[in-house]
Each structure stands twice: as structure tokens, then as C-alpha cells.
Structure 1
Amino acid sequence: MSVREETRGHVATVTIARPEKRNALDADTLGALVAALDRFDADPAVRAIVVAGDERAFAAGADLGDLGSAGAVDLYRSGFSEHWDAVAAIRTPLVAAVRGYALGGGLELALACDVVVIADDAVLGFPEVRLGILPGAGGTQRLLRAVGKAVALDLLLTARRISGADAARLGIASRVVPSDEVDVAAQTTADEIAEGAPVAAGMIKAAVLAGFEMPLGAAIAHERALSALIAASADRTEGMRAFRARETPTFEGR
């Protein structure tokens, strides 16, 4: 089994379980990961999802397998890199719990998540330029949007490795904690997300991600449309009622 699944309350956890390969992401593992995320994304009881590895590695890279010797057309048609797009397309908020190595495709996976909780001694980097290739699963573009042009090119062109503490300082990670606290911190973060209104959380994620693809004016117009649309949700009614009554709201995700 290349991934493990569990749920606790409104939070699901999908753990990459390929320790003999330092959780390198091959096609089977990516397929199992995406399938698990899709199932939880379709479950209205799940309001946040943690994506985790183990203490040695979140994911030490991509494992192309036979695709490593494939021709250009076969590689392009393989659908391998599209697995990362499928992760990024999950509507439920994703929290990455990163310990150990997150290199190449592993770092691309973390960048595809929404919130990254990272160990201060984690090791991140894009080694591709030293292998005669480039990140092909969104790494150049998601890194650019996280840290800006100068830092992105520095990391991509030098293959320099950075620590989790550096990643948090640069904007790759959201929160940095000691390695033995990552799982708890990620679960706590997911629990905090799950306390909010699910409809609102989904729309907030949609607004932020759409903003990456739009000019500012268009992005603000999109945000305004979502802000109006959410007035039709029962969660909005409950949130306003609870606020006026000074009570804790009970959201149902509709």
C-alpha cells in the first residue's frame, strides 16, 4: 500500500507510505494519492485534508520508473505530471506536513497544497538542473509565485538545498516547528480550518487560486461575485445568527 488514509473528526489524513524509496512519487503512488484526495474531497464531512510523509521524507522526489527512458511524445502523453495538477485542483483545503526531504517532485507536491507546516530541519530543493532536466510538474511556476523571480531562479538554477526554517522565511512554508511537532501542528491547523464554514473556506481557496491567474481588477471582481454568491448559503445565515447571539456557530457545509 503506497498511501494510508485516516479520518479524525472533520479532518482526513493521507500519508505517503513508501519508506524504502524515501516516499519517492511513482505513478502508482501518485494515482493512489489523488484517488484518496478525490474521495475525501467528495465527502461533505471532510473539511480539511492533511498530506503527510514520514520523519525521513515528505517525498524525496519523483520516481519516473520506465518513463525515465521514454521518448518526448510518450512522456508528454503519459499523464504523469498531471497528477500534481489533480492535487492542486482539490477543492478541500490541503495542509502539507513536511518533515525530512522534500526534493523535486516532493517539493512540487508541497507547493500544490494550500498550507505548508514544515520542520525547521527539513531539506528542500530542486535538483533537476544537475540531472539535465527541469521541474515538470509545476515547480518552476508555483515556486515563482511563492517566492518571486529572483529567489526562484536562484534555487532552480543552483539546485541549492534549503532548510525548513529558510522555506518559511522565503514564503514556501506557512508555519515552521521542530520536526517532532509537525504532525500535531498540521493536525491542529487542519482542525482550525475545519472549524470555519466549509462553503466559505472553499470559496476563499477558489478566490485566492484564481487570483494567481488574473489581473488584479479581474481577481477582485471574481472575489466580489463569490462574496455575493455566498449570501445564499445556509452557513452564512448560521454564522450571522451565531454572531448576533454570541454563540458558536454550527456549520453544515451548505
Structure 2
Amino acid sequence: MSPLVRRASYDGFAQIVLDRPDKRNALNAEMLTELVATLRECEADPAVRAIVISGSGRGFAAGADIGALASANPIELFTSGFSENWDQVAAMTKPLIAAISSYALGGGLELALICDIIVADQTALFGLPEAAIGTIPGAGGTQRLVRVVGKSMAMEMILAGRRLTAEEARRFGLVSSVTSDGQNVQDLAFEIAARIARAAPLATKIAKAAVLASFETPLSAGIQYERSLSALIAASEDRSEGMRAFAAKAQPNFTGR
């Protein structure tokens, strides 16, 4: 059986491609298992400092595999490990960048919402159409989307099936950047990944943890957490190297220690 995800390595970052174009990259259990395994490989590789996730063919991902889900009974759904795979993606400590072209629907949007940065081209559409087929988002969509676009827009997308264009998604804070005319979304994602790769890898990992904590932590506790992490990183070799390079007006050589 052909792999359902592909990995490519670049200078300082990796790309993972969802590769099931005949099914519009619909996410089934096998693809998610392969995605998690590939992400773990990237996590363990010190040469990888950021990860771009994109889709093959026409789009990012059209959602979960409805055929596979429809045939499963409640006990099979609960014990299959399918839902837990999403938690494993969310547990990755290295920065994840979703590069969206054409469609990120249902589970595809939920996967993008787990990523730390979302960029899109001008063809991109974002939506959670589950209610139209008698179900609801099951991989964090009801929780993550409202934290990004607010209650009213999240309700319209989830209850009424509204889809956001790339420009609307940027306006509501779902997307950080949209390509300009003639620009490829993969190139845009690679530019961001390359900038992350030049930063101190320990700093990006700790900063990501601090930002994510803000979604679940009261402000005062979040500031205390940030303060403790800022003090902790002062003991790192990377911080010393960064300060040395800044004073010398030189390029730092970060090692992640």
C-alpha cells in the first residue's frame, strides 16, 4: 500500500504532505496514524526546527473519511484510537505551519486549527459542514474555532455551514497570511518555516508552549508561567549565544541547548 503522507526535508525544516488525492486527502485512521508517526520523526530530528503540513492535488483536506466513520459503531469509534491521534498532533512541540490551498473542511479545518500558523492562497475555503450530514465536529472544531473567530462566527460556520474565503479567514484571525497574486502558498509557508528555523529552537519550543497555555490559563497565571519560562531559558546555551551574536553583530549559531 502506498504511503498516505510524504515527508520532504529542507534546510532547517520539513514538509509533510497529505497524499490521498483521489479522496481529496480525506483523513482516515491510517493517514492520521502515518501523520503522527512522521511528526514524531520530525520531533526527534534536531535538524528539523519547523514543520509545514500541506495537501497534494487540489487541496489541503476535505475532512474526515465519511465512509469509514459511517460504518463504525459507537464502541468502535470510542476504542479505535482515531480521536487520540488528533491529541498526538496537538502534543507536538515544534512549530506547525498549515499551508492551505482550495479547501480545508471538516477534519481538514480541525487539523489546520491544531497548527500554530495557518497560511492560505486565494482559492482557500474553510468550513465545518458536519451538521449538514447529521453529525458534529469531533476533533476539537467546536472548541478551537470559537477561540479563533469568536462565538457568533463559529456558530454560523458550525450550525449554518458558512464557509470562509481566504480573505475572510484572515479578517477573522483564522489565517495569518494570504498569498499575493502569483505566489504559491507552499512558498509562503516555506518562507515562514525558514525564518523560524533561523531562530533559537529551544526558544521557539518554549514560546509555543507559553502561547498555547494562554488558551487555558487565567491572565495572571499565564504571566507567571511566562516569567518562569523566561527565567528558565536564561540557563540555556542558546541564550548566551544569542546575546553574544547580538553584541558582536554576528549571526548566532544555535544548537537547541
Q: Paired residue for 2:249, among 231, 246, 254?
A: 246
Gaps of 5+ in 2: none
Q: Distance in 1 between matches of 2:207 and 2:229?
A: 9
Q: Percent identity?
A: 54
Q: What is the distance in 2 between the residues matched to 1:188 and 1:114?
A: 15
Equivalent residue number for residue 220 of structure 1:
223
| Structure 1 Cα separation of the partners of residues 240 and 178 of structure 2 | 36
Alignment match, 1:199: 202
Per-residue deviation, 1:107: 0.4
Alignment of 1:72-87 (within 5 A): 72-87=74-89
SS of 2:137's equivalent?
Answer: coil
Counterparts of 1:173-192 in structure 2, within 5 Å, are: 173-178=175-180, 180-192=183-195
Specify the alignment match of 2:102 in structure 1. 100
Structure 1: unaligned runs, 5 residues or longer: none
Q: Secondary structure in 1 aligned to 2:17?
A: strand
Partners of 1:55 and 1:99 within 8 A in 2? no
Paired with 1:122 and 1:146, the residues of 2 have a C-alpha distance of 17
TM-fit CA distance, 1:71: 2.3
Following superposition, the deviation at residue 65 of structure 1 comes to 4.3
Pairing of 1:16-27 with structure 2 (within 5 A): 16-27=18-29
* Counterpart among 216, 230, 239 of residue 236 in structure 1: 239
Counterpart residue identity of residue 233, structure 2: I
Which has the larger displacement, 48-57 or 205-214?
48-57
- CA displacement, residues 48-103 of structure 1 (integer Å, 9 cap, x when unaligned): 00001035110001015443232223212222122222111110101111001110
Match of 2:62 among 60, 63, 71: 60
RMSD: 1.2
Instruction: State the SS of the aligned residue for 1:6.
Output: strand
Matched residues in 2 for 1:104 and 1:185: separation? 24
Q: Structure 2-normalised TM-score?
A: 0.95
- TM-score, normalised by the number of residues in structure 1: 0.97
1:43 paired to 2:45: yes
Q: Do structure 1's residue 162 and structure 2's residue 164 form an aligned pair?
A: yes
Q: Report the 3-state secondary structure (helix = DSSP H, G, I; strand = E; otherwise coil) of the residue aligned with 1:57.
A: coil
